[in-house]
Amino acid sequence: MTNHNVPLSVLDLSPITEGGDAAQSFANTLDLARHAEALGYKRYWLAEHHNMPGIASAATAVVIGHVAGGTSTIRVGAGGIMLPNHAPLVIAEQFGTLASLYPGRIDLGIGRAPGTDRTTAYALRRTLQGDGAGDGFPRDVAELQHYFGEPEIGQRVRAVPGAGLKVPLWILGSSLYGAQLAAMMGLPYAFASHFAPAAMMQALNVYRSQFEPSAQLDEPYAMLGFNVFAADSDEEGALLMTSVQQSFLNLRLGTPGRLPPPDPDFDGRLEPAERAMLDGALACSAAGSAATVRQGIEDFIHKTDADEIMVTSHIFDHAKRRRSFELAIRA
């Protein structure tokens, strides 16, 4: 890459493939994390989604413990925890536990979306008050920070474990809201450009121009999501990408399912509106040979001046997924 100082990290949703199950997904996740650690990726994040047949990482803190326990040096974290689904104290205790078990290796990225549909969000919370709108999310973030700080004299509620551990917080987002909050609170910012890139450049500008230094961070630090489908040829890389394209289309049609195998005829069946939707949602992607992917990542870094790239590769075949991450970092 042009800038060798830009580290690569991994975002994994523990995809459940057609014909597979969650148990296999978790085995694949740990195997991929060990592979990423050996290859030199900086961090390995998992994300909270609910009621998604193709995503196994709903109990995100549990899976993070599984990955951290099976690796030794790579940072492991949440990208992210959907904070409106939880009481901040519960998350402080969970990640205080993880940080106590795996000191210096745990990150906590937090978002304000539910990570699911409204009905499932109600099933998670029993109420939709404080669903990320208005002032609820910033208040919850501040409360979470408070639990990770040094206990104050007379503090009646403490996170045990959690208090004093200063677990690094990140703000996740796909709009200007998260950028403004991360800047105001002086926190690192992770943008979901791998599936919602429309506001990326504007959000980066807002974050960097409005950033206020904090105890955690002196200057802005932006990590951006990027899809990679690396293979031995451009044709194979494009074919591998059709699995995630099918998943996106099914999700938009209201028929989410498990990650399907690649489909060589997929592109030919697309309606123009469907192709436009996929091109927009997956604009921050590189599919093809190592040289093609390298150029894609270089161009993305040049365009965004990203401090870190979080690579995600929803590839049906686990061996080819491992190979994709290998080609991406070695390119």
Asked if residue 113 has pLDDT above 90, the reply is no
Output phi, psi for 215, to 5 deg: -65, -30
Under a CB-based contact definition with an 8 Å cutoff, are residues 81 and 60 in contact?
A: yes
At 110, the amino acid letter reads I
Under a CB-based contact definition with an 8 Å cutoff, are residues 189 and 170 in contact?
A: yes
pLDDT band at 122 (very low <50, low <70, confident <90, very high): confident
pLDDT band at 127 (very low <50, low <70, confident <90, very high): low
Report how far apart the first and last C-alpha atoms of the chain are (Å, whole number). Answer: 7
What's the chain's average pLDDT?
A: 93
- The model's pTM is 0.94
H helices present in 265-311, as ranges: 272-281, 290-304
Cα 68 to Cα 39, 55, 299, distances in angstroms:
16, 19, 32
Structure tokens at 262: 């690649």
- Considering the domain 8-330, what is its CATH architecture? Alpha-Beta Barrel (3.20)
